[in-house]
Structure 1
């Protein structure tokens, strides 16, 4: 057996040791109280037995025995009474009170040894010592260190009293001292061994319960996290259901209108009547669908967008955005203006495109929900930050909607999904923009029925923004495509034909193919070097537009790196093309034809013109 099984060591941490002592006192408080009460009850019963016994044997010593018994009861009762209070839960106080109870009983027993008839001591008094030792070593559950010195003091005083009786010639049999003293000493060592095992077991159990509580706490924390994740997942599911329900409705409505007006236009054309109104409605409705998909595209791309911070001319952006929304505001009969100040606002450190988009969404949202009054754009310089405010006199936002207005597809007072009020992505896009831009934040204030103020906070830049000039108009840009050779690839025949006609209308020469096989056939014809490659990203037969572009670039490697315009209907981030060699541009099928032509023209404009004679040298 290892010696460590009989050694009691404190915990290495003082905090853990204090926690153990507190736990030890709380666990055994009731047991200690019960043991002390039992001791007093036994003592009282023995007092009655003493009165019956000594009244017949020797009534002269009855009062002496009674005084000793009374002193013992008082010595035990007072600390036991204190143990019924909160001191029982403090190990130091509890140990002290138990020591007082034990010593009071022990010394009372030693006093009885001196006054009791010597012939009756071994039979009447000596068992009391064993009862006290039993209580100390078992029911009182004293820690080992306390039991060692307490019972050690009791054993020493017992032998000292026996020795004094021998010295003072008090008639006491020698065998009484030797046998009873030896038994007391033996019980001392056995009791200490029992105390050691009790305390070791208590310490192991404390560690086990502590580890169990910690594990339970971790499990509960993990359970809370899982519940939170499940709640978030349920919220995501609800948002997706709301998104798809709203998107389905918002797509079905204009498609139904387009079908109806196409039918009306066909009837008018068959009757040789003008159908320009129907065609205008179809065009406007199709533009609504494109706008909706552009919002979805913008919202999706923000997840992987890396902001490009630079000094931004705040006044120029405010003016540009307000001019952009002057006509929509006039069409609704409301006023849109910028608050006049003595000096222009300072430049800010931001991403020009994201800042402009956030401000545009604020103003657009204010115009849509304002029917009377107007919208005012202003700014306030607050320390090192600039606050841009968009005030409106619209419907306002009730408190019940204020936590939900930044959710996707959430709209106030639009149960019929009126497309003139947008698609519910404006404020959610602003919320994402603010989360992407460092040191930017957003606040809003609103009174239902009176209007709202949305504020965008941005850090003031210490540098002057660089003002770029680009006088090239979209018409001039598209004229750059005249005479250029364009290679098209799209697996959707109608889209491919539409793109072919679009670029033919600019005077460009166009070859088109629906797959890699068609591209290979064009390359085999040894045609001229294309000025630009325009391809869809997803093609049939598990091929991609990236592979098509790389194949064409490889075929004409001697002509340099050809520009590529990827056009897709998927929510693909430009970050996904980070490994593709520039120059290239990512276009959306939801873009307007004018925007597509302008982007392709800009891509071609920065490249060296190839011309008709740009062929491989023999």
Structure 2
């Protein structure tokens, strides 16, 4: 029986050449079985052709589109296969672009097949359908080249590709945007760096100006302190001389008032200079091991007379321990504490003592003064803080003494504490490390030095300030000493003086000569290499202190405190 889909309109029987002999097919059982198998195979192929998921078509390479399956029609958007065959009359019409059809034909002629070629087919309503195309050239059947095509719809893949391209485009746009932002940030950063460099240059210039201003201030303070302390020192010496003379009550009261005023001015200047040097860290500790008795001796000689003038008891508890600290700075701390104790105590007494606590020595200053409220125990160490100083007549000093004490203790690494009972008195304690005594330490002197070592002793005073010489001569002669004075070495040699028992020399003399140089010259002049000498100065620099300490020359700062001077001279002349 002839079927519509049979090639060239022939039935299977006709293809086999049986023709009208089908009536005799019962005589050919094997042939009948073979025909059944062929028919079954043909039906299976037809079923696969019509139900395949991918599009299938047959066409002449340069001719018409012969057949197509429903999957291809659906892929192209056509309702039926017939619509597809009618719309695409040729193989070339199946492609969306004519030049693409020519290229495919050329490849097929050259290679005989084409596999996985991606292209666009012409869909209905002008749509372009992305596909993966596989073409097979069938064996030659005359002059026409038959082609079988297998078409896979890659619309989803193409959509994913397009989305990927769009995503890549967005990413590239973001990268460009970020790059532009980074470039802008780099430009801004370069501007900030340039601005910072300019600021650093300005800061360095400002720092240099500030340092130069500090150096200028230091020079001014040094000059001002020297110029101010020189006349103050002369006045203090003269007033101290008057205080030790027998005067009537009115004169003595006036002299004591002058003494208190000068003492206040001296402490103000000294405290201001010290606080400035501490803030600039120009004071560097020089630790050494020394016997505490060496320090107590000078403190007692300096402050016992001061307490006695106020009718206060002054007692010192001796100790033989050796301390590891800076002798000068620790002495400054204790002098400030003793000065406050004597100043604010009106009745009772002052006690200076040493208590051993393990490896530490607690140096304590007790007084029977007005005491300190509990809520003020920390505030008293602030600068310019004074208790009960709401009125000017209650103020004593400017409130820098304890601030200096605290800063020096911090610099030395020492702990300071205070306990107080209002109305009964206070106790300030400084803890200092104890060290093992050494053979070269001084022998423990007597704490209360008599005035005997100064009586009848000869002292040479050299200072380029005539007022200092007048005041110093009057004070020393008041103590029973013989005092010669001179302005420089030339005047000393002109006077042709006998060797004195000790020298008291100013540090900065005329013509750039210094006190230590003058001491060395006078020792050579009298051939007394161990002639005792003391240098006095308003210069508080560490460099001069170390230089004089290396030369084993005691140093006293202006304005001189008579008690301190007397203690040092007594110590030198007793050796």
Q: Could you say which structure has the greater relative contact order, defined with CA pairs below 8 angstroms and 6 or more residues apart?
A: 2
What range describes the TM-score normalised by the shorter chain of this pair? 0.3 to 0.5
Q: Normalized against structure 2, the TM-score is what?
A: 0.48
More strand by share: 2
Larger Rg: 2
The structure where helix makes up a greater share of residues is 1
Report the TM-score when normalising by structure 1. Answer: 0.45
